[in-house]
Amino acid sequence: MAAPTHSVHVANIAPTTTEQHLNEFFEFCGKITSIDFKADSKQATVHFEKPSAAKTALMLNGGTLDGSSLSVTSDVTHPDDEDNADPVSQSDKPRAAVAAEYLAKGYTLSDQILQRAIDLDSKQGISQRFLSYFHSIDSSLGSRALGPDKTISGKVQETLQAATQQAKTVDEQRGISKTANDYYTKALSSPMGQKVYDFYTSTSKQALDIHEEAKRIHASQKAAAAPSTTSTSGEQVQGGDPAAPPAAGV
């Protein structure tokens, strides 16, 4: 018997949008099991593995793909999934973090959608799996950079500013962030580490915070693609600044 899927209906799809475009757009929400794409009517049904992924997809109602404002709806209410048997996945991330990833990739999301993401995080809280994962990174990086039982985000003996600077110095000496495969490890070991920590562990955010995190993600992606590039100004991607407020009416 096939495992159940959790679906959203997508309408108002642009004539130039392909099934691959839809997959790339919605995969930020979580694992997609299949897409039923009706090319003639420019509608689709996206099936996700987890209900929390479908719930995140609904947050994107009104988001722009290939110049068209998508209608994303569902006939059912999708709950958040807290099955602790599974490892951390994309669908466990805070919704504000998912929104930041969309902006960093160059997609256009209105501040109304960003606020929707913030409201979901505030109402549902942040996945305990994700918080445990993030705290473990904070702890392991702190132990390596500052000493046993210390965290980058904590204030143990050093002031926060001194701890961040010391972590940065140790990182430069040992190349922690250069050898790390995880974005969060690199971000926490940077001078912006406390802001990154607060963004991913607190539900108290504003749309501007999401734009700022999008800048950091975009800068990290650029650095990974071109190690010699050190700019963190959030240059244009796919025709737009990922951290800039969207145009009116989007």
DSSP secondary structure of 55-124: HHHHTTTT-EETTEE-EEE-SSPPPPP--TTSPP-GGGS-HHHHHHHHHHHT-B--HHHHHHHHHHHHHH
Flag whether 170 is in a domain. Answer: yes
The answer as to whether 210 is a domain residue is no
We report the CATH number of the domain holding residue 9 as 3.30.70.330
Per-residue pLDDT of the chain (250 residues; tens, 9 = 90+): 455 679 999 999 999 999 999 999 999 999 999 999 988 889 999 999 999 999 999 999 999 999 999 999 998 888 776 554 455 788 889 999 999 999 999 999 999 999 999 999 999 899 888 998 888 877 776 666 556 666 656 643 344 455 555 555 555 555 544 443 478 888 887 778 888 989 999 999 999 999 999 999 999 888 877 755 444 433 333 334 444 444 333 3
User: What is the DSSP secondary structure assignment for residue 179, as one 8-state letter?
Assistant: H
pLDDT score at 22: 96
Q: What is the spatial distance between Cα 63 and Cα 67, in angstroms, rounded to a whole number?
A: 10
The per-residue pLDDT for 154 is: 61
Establish if 9 belongs to a structural domain. yes
Last residue of a domain, one of 161, 176, 202: 202
- Tell me what pLDDT residue 234 has: 39
Burial grade of 169 (CB within 10 A; 0-12, 13-18, 19 or more) = exposed
R_g of the chain, CA atoms, integer Å: 19
**Residue 211 placed within a domain:** no
- Last residue within a domain, chosen from 45, 74, 103: 74
Tell whether 38 is covered by a domain: yes
In the prediction, which pLDDT does 192 show? 80
Whole-number Cα distances in Å, 247 to 64, 86, 207: 11, 39, 14
94 belongs to a structural domain: no
Note whether 197 and 132 are same-domain residues. yes
Report the alpha-carbon distance of residue 247 to residue 108 in Å, rounded: 9
Residue type, 126: I
Look at residue 60 and tell me if it is in a domain.
yes
CA nearest neighbour of 34 among 64, 77, 2, 63: 2
| pLDDT score at 12 | 95
Are residue 132 and residue 198 in the same domain, yes or no?
yes
Number of folded domains that form the chain: 2
Residue 45: inside a domain, yes or no? yes
Structural domain ending residue among the three candidates 166, 183, 202: 202
**Length of the chain, please?**
250
Please state, as a whole number, how many other Cβ atoms lie within 10 Å of the Cβ of residue 60: 26
Q: What is the pLDDT of residue 91?
A: 86
Q: Is residue 231 a contact partner of residue 241, using CB atoms and an 8 Å limit? A: no
- Domain range for 178 is 128-202
- What's the pTM value of the predicted model, to 2 decimals? 0.75
